[in-house]
Every structure is written in structure tokens, then in C-alpha cells.
């Protein structure tokens, strides 16, 4: 029995084991490789996608649980890679190896959707579920702030200089 869902605004129908985690569904069956595997046990956040607009760890979420849901992955966050979070990430030169960053960006964008102007503490708390082994945390936190400024059209209060 096939499962229907919407991935990055496209309706898809999948005829695979319904226990397949959404992460592997995306990576192996949809060729959407932007969502990353880091731990497989909901600890690192590398696999974060949006399920009906909520940031969710796709590594522990079976396909059956997202039937008819609306999924957004890093590839679908913006058409031209110009979501304020993506712009801020590039401007402040956040990535080192880059592997964790899709998950970081999806988490950050969801945080800003709920709280367009988060406080410094809210940024730190909101982002601390995501591990970055390269230790880009300072810039991640700065970039969330910059993205918030960009999105709320304010002149960025952060300097352009990354942390």
C-alpha cells in the first residue's frame, strides 16, 4: 500500500516499507541528500526537516507517521537558496565541514518562524539540540540573530564581522 505525502511542495506516492525512517526515505528513495545522517537516535539534529512546519528529527520518524503530511527539507527551504537563514549563514561564513549545517539551518528557520525576534538566550536554547562537531556554535548563534534582523527588515544590529 502506498503512502502519499508532500515533499517540498510536490505530491509524492511511495510504495516502500512504511517503517522506513523519513530520513532514509528522503535520502535513498527521493534522492534528496541534503538531510543528513549523524546518529540515527534523535541526538544530533543533523536530520532535521519540517513536518507540517515543525522542526522534526527525521531519523526516528517512520514513513507511516507522516502519511499525508507536508515535509520541507533543506532543498525546499527556498527556491534560490536565499532564505534569510541561508543568507545569514553564508554572510557570517558559518560552515566549517558543513555536514551539520542543513540540520542547523532547518532548526534555525523553524525557531524564527515561531519567534521572529528571539532573545540571545532563546537562540542559544533553541539551537542547543543540534551538535556541530567542528564547533561553529558562535557563528550559528550570530547568524540566527542576523537572519532575524534580515527577515524583520531591520538594519542588522550585528556587525558583519562573524563571531
Q: Using the rule CB under 8 A, is 31 a contact of other proteins?
A: yes
Q: How many CB atoms lie within 10 A of CB 4?
A: 11
Output the DSSP codes for 71-104: EE-GGGS-SSS--HHHHHHHHTT--SS-TTHHHH
Q: Using the rule CB under 8 A, is 141 a contact of other proteins?
A: yes
C-alpha cell at 33: 541528500
Nearer to ligand FES, 99 or 156 (CB): 99
Judge residue 145's burial from the number of C-beta atoms within 10 Å of its C-beta, 0-12 exposed, 13-18 middle, 19 or more buried: buried
The residue within the footprint of ligand FES, chosen from 37, 65, 149, 156 (CB under 6 A), is 37
The residue within the footprint of other proteins, chosen from 19, 68, 153, 155 (CB under 8 A), is 19
Count residues contacting ligand FES (CB under 6 A)? Answer: 23
For residues 72 and 100, give the distance between their C-alpha atoms in angstroms, rounded to a whole number.
17
Q: Using the rule CB under 8 A, is 44 a contact of other proteins?
A: yes
C-alpha cell at 79: 527556491
Q: Which spans of this chain sit near other proteins (rule: CB under 8 A)? A: 16-17, 19-21, 24, 27-29, 31-41, 43-44, 46, 73-75, 77, 81, 86, 89-91, 93, 95-102, 105, 124-125, 127-141, 161-163
Q: Which spans of this chain sit near ligand FES (rule: CB under 6 A)? A: 37-40, 42-47, 57, 59, 95-101, 132-134, 136
Amino acid at each position: 500500500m502506498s503512502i502519499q505525502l508532500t515533499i517540498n511542495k510536490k505530491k509524492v506516492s511511495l510504495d516502500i516499507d512504511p517503517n522506513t525512517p523519513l530520513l532514509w526515505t528522503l535520502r535513498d528513495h527521493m534522492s534528496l541528500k541534503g538531510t543528513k545522517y549523524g546518529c540515527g537516535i534523535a541526538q544530533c539534529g543533523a536530520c532535521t526537516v519540517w513536518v507540517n512546519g515543525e522542526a522534526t528529527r527525521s531519523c526516528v520518524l517512520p514513513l507511516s507517521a507522516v502519511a499525508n503530511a507536508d515535509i520541507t527539507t533543506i532543498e525546499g527551504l527556498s527556491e534560490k537558496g536565499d532564505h534569510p537563514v541561508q543568507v545569514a549563514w553564508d554572510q557570517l561564513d558559518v560552515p566549517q565541514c558543513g555536514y551539520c549545517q542543513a540540520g542547523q539551518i532547518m532548526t534555525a528557520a523553524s525557531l524564527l518562524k515561531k519567534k521572529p525576534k528571539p532573545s540571545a538566550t532563546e537562540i542559544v536554547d533553541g539551537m542547543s539540540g543540534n551538535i556541530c562537531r567542528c564547533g561553529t556554535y558562535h557563528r550559528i548563534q550570530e547568524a540566527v540573530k542576523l537572519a532575524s534582523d534580515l527577515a524583520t527588515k531591520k538594519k542588522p544590529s550585528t556587525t558583519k564581522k562573524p563571531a
